Amino acid sequence: MSAPLYKFGLFGDELSLVVAFVIGLGFGFFLERAGFGSARKLTGQFYLTDLAVFKVMFSAIVTAMLGVFYLGWVGWLDLSLIYVGPTWLPSQIVGGLLLGIGFVVGGYCPGTSVVAVATGALDAVVFLFGLTLGIFGFGEAYDALAGFVQAGAMGTVVLPDVLGVPYGQVVLGVVLLALAGFVGAEAVERWSARRSERS
Partner 1 sequence: MASAESSRPSIPAGDPPSPRSYSNPYLMGVGLGLVLLTAFVVMGRGLGASGAFSSLVAWGLDSAASGHARANPFYVGYLESGVGHPLKSWLVFEVLGLAAGGLLSGALAGRIRRRVERGPRFSTPGRLAMALLGGVLMGVGSKLARGCTSGQALSGGALLGLGSWSFMIMVFVGAYATAWFVRRQWT
> Which residues between 138 and 177 bind partner 1 (CB under 8 A)?
138-139, 142-143, 145-146, 148-149, 154, 156-162, 167, 170-171, 174
Residues contacting residue 167 through CB under 8 Å, at least 6 positions apart: 69, 158, 160
Contact between 82 and partner 1 per CB under 8 A: yes
Instruction: State which of residues 74, 75, 132, 198 lies at the interface with partner 1 (CB under 8 A).
Output: 132
Contact between 73 and partner 1 per CB under 8 A: no
Phi then psi dihedrals of residue 132, to 5 deg: -65, -35
Contact between 87 and partner 1 per CB under 8 A: yes
**Measured between alpha carbons, how far is 192 from 50 in angstroms, rounded to an integer?**
9
Contact between 40 and partner 1 per CB under 8 A: yes
Q: How far is the CB of 168 from partner 1 (least distance, A)?
A: 11
Instruction: State which of residues 9, 14, 75, 194 lies at the interface with partner 1 (CB under 8 A).
Output: 14
Let me know the angle formed at the C-alpha of 27 by 124 and 100, rounded to the nearest 5 degrees: 50
In contact, 154 and 87? CB cutoff 8 Å: yes
